[in-house]
Structure 1
């Protein structure tokens, strides 16, 4: 098995990695898999160190509390923070769902040594209207996505969890959140 990596070049992936690590997951970044031209990657592979396998999440849109029921997952991060994800947006950018393609799933199965894992997409936000939201959820389910986490939940969790009196020298992101809190630019 490959080493669990910590090198991240994408700020959004870094934020999501920190979120999962703060929730007791081991995180592997950028798991490569073959595509027609070259390689692509699954942004994050996560393994829960303390899963509650008796209580898998029933919600499609996950909250922080739901994470305990996730044992293993392939994570795609789409931080298009000014966009709401609709079926038409996803159809216009089909690469959004590459992480649930056959090649990606085969690679994830080899990595986890099982077919028992979840496919989770982290995105900026779902549509505001119930009808559009339900259509998007249905579209994602039909295309192999098991769960969604919205960035708002991730950011709120991290802002709440970061301590002002702790140095986060290993993470530029967490250190930045800490400094924003220290200087009163960010409230919890």
Structure 2
């Protein structure tokens, strides 16, 4: 009998076994849900394939500005730091609930922000009140966390949110906004 973790890491047709095991990527040309769709994808497969394909989508949509007037050498700055988005998206994959829902992880890229919706609220010692505080971590899916660590996608030390916050600050982005609820966590990243 396949387990959830075994299916996520090894199965070639993961959604046949776990219908919610995918990331829904949507890029719209505006700040609202009803804006014209520029790109969309249902990203599924083995966990490593999902992460690689999502990374490719994120890279493809990041814009980099080049300033040649403020210094002797040009300065490049992405609208979003890739590594921060990776930390937040991989946290969603690791910490989501794979039971009691058929909702996918949603990454919605608007003209002014990116929203990452994780169908799984705070778990264990992590509560709505202490969500995102340094040193407060728990693992809904400890074996998946270990598999992601072994494959080099995460560190499994509870530093993902802190790392994303630092990378956003260093890039000049506003702080990420976290909205943890009982059954989901929404993170919003702005330009």
> Could you state the TM-score of these two structures normalised by the residue count of structure 1?
0.27
Larger RCO (CA within 8 A; separation ≥ 6): 2
Larger proportion of helix = 1
> Could you state the TM-score of these two structures normalised by the residue count of structure 2?
0.27
